[in-house]
A and B are shown apart, each in its own frame.
Chain A
Amino acid sequence: MQPHERISAAIRTANDAGRVGLVPFITAGYPDKDGFVETLKKVASAGDVVELGVPFSDPMADGVTIQRSSHAAIEAGVTLSWILGELKQTDGIDAPLVLMSYLNPLLAYGYKRLAEDCVKAGVCGFIVPDLPLEEGTELRAALNEQGLALIQLVTPATPDARMQALCDASRGFVYAVTIKGITGGAQALPADVTDYLDAVKAAAGDTPVCAGFGVRASEQVSSLGQHADGVIVGSALVEKLEAGEDPAEFLNGLRG
Chain B
Amino acid sequence: MPTKRSVELSSAEQQALLKRLIDGELPDAQGRFGPFGGRYAPETLVPALQRLEDGIREHLKDDSFVAELNAELTQWVGRPTALTYARGLSQRWGASVWLKREDLAHTGAHKINNALGQALLAKRLGATRVIAETGAGQHGVATAAACARVGIPCIVYMGEVDVARQAPNVDRMYQLGAEVVPVTSGDRTLRAAIDEAFRDWVSDPEGSYYLLGSAVGPHPYPYLVRELQAIIGREARAQMHQLAGGLPDAVFACVGGGSNAIGLFHPFLGDKDTLLYGVEAGGRGTGLGENSATLATGTPGVLHGSYSILLHNDDGQIQETHSVSAGLDYPGVGPEHSLLQAIGRVSYVSATDAEALEALRECCAFEGILTAIESAHAFVGARRWAKDNPNKRVLIGLSGRGDKDMPTLSKVLPRDVFKNKAA
Instruction: Spell out A's residues near B (CB within 8 Å).
Output: 56-64, 67, 71, 74, 79-81, 102-110, 113, 129-132, 134-135, 152-155, 157-159, 162, 166, 177, 180-182
Known A56-B317, A104-B312, A182-B199; judge A132-B46 contact (CB<8 A): yes
Bound Cα distance from A109 to B186, whole angstroms: 23
Q: Which residue of B lies closest to A179 (CB)?
A: B203
Asked if A157 and B186 sit within 8 Å, CB to CB, the answer is no
Q: Which residue of A lies closest to B1 (CB)?
A: A81
Q: How far is the CB of B3 from chain A (nearest CB, A)?
A: 9
Asked if B316 and A131 sit within 8 Å, CB to CB, the answer is no
Residue pairs across A and B with Cβ atoms less than 8 A apart, 19 shown, are: A56-B316, A57-B318, A58-B186, A61-B44, A61-B202, A63-B199, A80-B316, A104-B302, A104-B312, A104-B317, A105-B315, A108-B5, A132-B40, A135-B38, A135-B39, A153-B43, A157-B48, A180-B205, A182-B202
For the complex of A and B, list the 7 residue pairs with the smallest distance between their C-beta atoms, beginning with the closest.
A108-B316, A105-B316, A104-B316, A181-B203, A61-B42, A57-B318, A155-B44
A residues in contact with B302, CB < 8 Å: 102-104, 107, 130
Q: With an 8 A cutoff between CB atoms, is B20 at the interface?
A: no
Name A108's contact: one of B191, B203, B312 (CB within 8 Å): B312
Q: With an 8 A cutoff between CB atoms, is B177 at the interface?
A: no
Q: Chain B interface: which size bin? A: 35 or more
Contact mask for chain B residues 285-322; partner A; CB cutoff 8 A; 1 contact, 0 none: 00000000000000011111100001010111110000
Bound Cα distance from A106 to B317, whole angstroms: 10
A residues in contact with B198, CB < 8 Å: 60-61
Bound Cα distance from A107 to B305, whole angstroms: 14
Bound Cα distance from A179 to B198, whole angstroms: 15
Bound Cα distance from A126 to B103, whole angstroms: 48
Q: With an 8 A cutoff between CB atoms, is B363 at the interface?
A: no
Asked if B205 and A134 sit within 8 Å, CB to CB, the answer is no
Q: Which residue of B lies closest to A63 (CB)?
A: B199
Bound Cα distance from A93 to B217, whole angstroms: 40
A residues in contact with B317, CB < 8 Å: 56-57, 74, 104-105
Asked if B314 and A57 sit within 8 Å, CB to CB, the answer is no
B residues in contact with A166, CB < 8 Å: 43
Q: With an 8 A cutoff between CB atoms, is B271 at the interface?
A: no
Known A58-B303, A108-B2, A108-B312; judge A132-B39 contact (CB<8 A): yes
